[in-house]
Structure 1
Amino acid sequence: MNSITMNKKNRMKIWAVLFWLAVWQAASMWIGQEILLVSPAAALYRLFFLAREGSFWQSVAFSAVRILGGFFLALLAGILTGALAARYRNFRHLMAPLVMAMKSTPVASFVILALFWFSASGLSVFISFLIAFPLVYGNTWQSIVLTDQKLLEMGQVFHLSFWKKIRYLYFPQLYPNLQIASALGMGMCWKAGTAAEVIGVADGSIGERLYEAKAYLQMPDLFAWTITIIVVSIVLERLFLALLGWIERKNRGGVA
């Protein structure tokens, strides 16, 4: 039954993708000028051509390493500071203005400021960190604060160690919210990180390729690189969520 349900869901997803590809194709045919809107076939053909070049994969790797680096730094810092915020209310009050500034300040403002502090190649790390940190931080402290007090009291009765409390009491509470924060954060990091690369024109990055496509009016390249960003973002997000799921299952098995 589950496999049938999953297959139906997958068919619906394919149907939705095909629908919007058809809309894209119709819009391209109606406009009739590829310099304004290329067809899906032209974009995919250009993507296939670019993927045969070594420089394509170098640009993908360049951006992926830095954007993922910023995301994982935010994940680590967000969990640690979120735990402190859950434990110490004054620390939570202290962090509130900083987190609000991170959430409210436009990405372009951060990028321009960061250009005074970092090289263009480090921009996507910094911006990705700023985008993901508030999500991880907020979900972490809220999850810990909402942990069932009866479970905590039971942990004290059985004299659970610090690490066992984290594993058996806090992690099951944190996991669903961390999963949501990661899913949202990964996509947002890719959008903001590549935008930072475009503004900073980071050498060897996907952002530089997007900037060149815009500067030379290479619309097929622009769409091909956009498709690349979407696909890579989705693949890496699914891989990371699969890793989180594996950790959660191992932890649940340990509880049993």
Structure 2
Amino acid sequence: MRPVILSAAGIGLLLALWQLGHLAYGSLVLPGLGETLAALAGLIGRGEVASALKATAFNALAGWLISVVVGVLAGGLAGRYEDLRHLLQPLAIILIGIPAIAWVVLALLWFGGRWAVVFTVSVATAPMIFAGAVQAVRSLDDDLARMARAFKTPPMAMVTDIYFPHMLAYLYPALATTLAMSWKVSIMAELLSGSGGIGDGIAAARARVDTAQLLAWVLVVVAILLLLDQLLLRLVRERMHVWRGQKERDSHG
């Protein structure tokens, strides 16, 4: 129970500091917890949260799926062929170094609207998936693959029993991390593009100087990220712990 108690204490401390800030600076600067929850209830009651979640989910997932297809294919080929890896790796490093906000501005000029958001998510997350795919292919045990081919293992069995499990061990952390990242990038892009979604709701609240509603949207974002952390990133940590333990037992066995 100790971790649960400490986690609850940390959240309680944050809420206490929030309320103290409200008492010190007033509702315009920092609305109280009650005002924020009332604003959140209003957003939910009017259906704005459901509509925004739907739009942001589409933008984030569409961009992420595009990055998965491009990153896995390009990374898989780059891991297999050294010349291609030397060609593509510098490009991936450059893409990682460009801030997402710069991509938003460029995408608004190139595409505009929703597809600017989708493009920004894709270009911000694809390099990380590419790096995971490269590492997955390069670390594949060639002896195991040769042994499977020597025993005339069917091609489909090679994919499902040898290549796929190995690549997933490297790709799963990158896939889960970029999926969570795609929501944050999507919201930031929506904030600047005005293409709907949670980011657009935040921008509208800012324009009206409605701090309570702005914080209500922030609570929605935090709830989503916490949910993704519990459903995905926590599973990643547990999976990697088990996988590393198995690898260590195999190496010492």
Deviation at 1:10, TM superposition (A): 4.7
Does residue 136 of structure 1 match 2:129? yes
Provide the C-alpha distance between the structure 1 equivalents of 2:226 and 2:110, rounded to a whole number of angstroms: 31
**Hey, what does 1:171 align to over in structure 2?**
164
Does residue 226 of structure 1 match 2:228? no
Provide the C-alpha distance between the structure 2 equivalents of 1:70 and 1:158, rounded to a whole number of angstroms: 41
Deviation at 1:144, TM superposition (A): 1.8
**Hey, what does 1:66 align to over in structure 2?**
59
- Counting aligned pairs with the same residue, the percent is 26
Deviation at 1:241, TM superposition (A): 6.7
3-state SS of paired residue (1:151) = helix
Provide the C-alpha distance between the structure 2 equivalents of 1:26 and 1:165, rounded to a whole number of angstroms: 61
Q: In structure 2, do the counterparts of structure 1 residues 116 and 228 end up closer, same or farther at CA, with 3 Å as the change threshold?
A: same
Deviation at 1:238, TM superposition (A): 4.9
**Hey, what does 2:242 align to over in structure 1?**
none
Give 1:28's match in structure 2, choosing from 18, 22, 27: 22
3-state SS of paired residue (1:84) = helix
**Hey, what does 1:3 align to over in structure 2?**
none
Give 2:117's match in structure 1, choosing from 118, 124, 133: 124
Does structure 2 retain, via aligned residues, the 8 Å contact 1:179–1:241?
no
Q: In structure 2, do the counterparts of structure 1 residues 236 and 68 end up closer, same or farther at CA, with 3 Å as the change threshold?
A: farther
3-state SS of paired residue (2:26) = coil
Q: In structure 2, do the counterparts of structure 1 residues 185 and 11 end up closer, same or farther at CA, with 3 Å as the change threshold?
A: farther
Does structure 1 retain, via aligned residues, the 8 Å contact 2:64–2:121?
yes
Does structure 2 retain, via aligned residues, the 8 Å contact 1:187–1:234?
no
Does structure 1 retain, via aligned residues, the 8 Å contact 2:74–2:130?
yes
List runs of 5+ in structure 1 lacking aligned partners.
1-6, 246-256
Does structure 2 retain, via aligned residues, the 8 Å contact 1:127–1:189?
no
Give 2:153's match in structure 1, choosing from 138, 154, 160: 160
After TM superposition, the structure 1 = structure 2 runs for residues 1-256 of structure 1, keeping only pairs within 5 Å, are 9-29=3-23, 31-202=24-195, 204-236=196-228, 238-239=230-231
Does structure 1 retain, via aligned residues, the 8 Å contact 2:22–2:32?
yes
Cα deviation, 1:12-64, whole Å, max 9, x if unaligned, reads: 444433332233223333x3322212233322221122111123311110111
List runs of 5+ in structure 2 lacking aligned partners.
238-253
Does structure 1 retain, via aligned residues, the 8 Å contact 2:107–2:117?
no
3-state SS of paired residue (2:87) = helix
**Hey, what does 2:241 align to over in structure 1?**
none
What is the RMSD computed on CA atoms of the aligned residues?
2.4
Report the more deviating stretch, 73-82 or 170-179. Answer: 170-179
Deviation at 1:138, TM superposition (A): 0.5
Does structure 2 retain, via aligned residues, the 8 Å contact 1:115–1:123?
yes
Aligned residues: 237
The letter of the residue matching 1:126 is: F
The letter of the residue matching 2:161 is: Y
TM-score by length of 1: 0.82
Cα deviation, 1:159-183, whole Å, max 9, x if unaligned, reads: 2233322322223222233232133
Does structure 2 retain, via aligned residues, the 8 Å contact 1:186–1:233?
no
Cα deviation, 1:89-147, whole Å, max 9, x if unaligned, reads: 11112212321222011122111111121122222211111121111110111022112
Provide the C-alpha distance between the structure 2 equivalents of 1:186 and 1:80, rounded to a whole number of angstroms: 18
Does structure 2 retain, via aligned residues, the 8 Å contact 1:47–1:221?
yes
3-state SS of paired residue (1:51) = helix
Provide the C-alpha distance between the structure 1 equivalents of 2:107 and 2:181, rounded to a whole number of angstroms: 18
